Amino acid sequence: MLQRQIVSAPTLEAIEQLAAQRLCEHNAWETSSTTMKKQVLRRGGRICGMMLIAHGPKRQACHAIWSGPEHRVLFYDTAGKRFAEVTLCDAPDYHRMAA
């Protein structure tokens, strides 16, 4: 069953922390031994969000996608299946993200 929640993440750093915590928690990974990478997403040449990728043990990876226009974060497990969705009641302005 897909988990849904409403949270506040007013900064980009808050979104990154939310993604790292949720992805590590779901996979039972230690946050201290998990590396996070981020990639700006564009649609039609315009910035629309960010992909946050967690690399865990044994070369496993999972990711979260922050969709700026939709004010939500989607979480995907190591098999690529969505396991959670968060609606942001307070989020940073994705238009101001540095490329």
Give the single-character DSSP code of 67.
E
Q: What's the number of domains the chain is made of?
A: 1
Look at residue 99 in the predicted model and tell me its pLDDT. 45
Per DSSP, what are the bridge partners of residue 53? 37, 63
d(CA 68, CA 70) in angstroms, rounded, equals 5
Counting DSSP H helices and E strands in the chain, the numbers are 1, 6
Residues with Cβ within 8 Å of 96's Cβ and at least 6 positions away in sequence, in order, are none
Q: Report CA-CA distances (Å) from 87 to 69, 75, 90, 93.
A: 11, 12, 9, 15
CA angle 8, 13, 19 (to 5 degrees): 70
pLDDT per residue of the chain (99 residues) written in tens, 0 to 9:
788 899 999 999 999 999 999 999 999 999 888 999 999 999 998 999 999 999 999 899 999 999 999 999 999 999 999 999 999 999 998 877 754
Look at residue 27 in the predicted model and tell me its pLDDT. 95
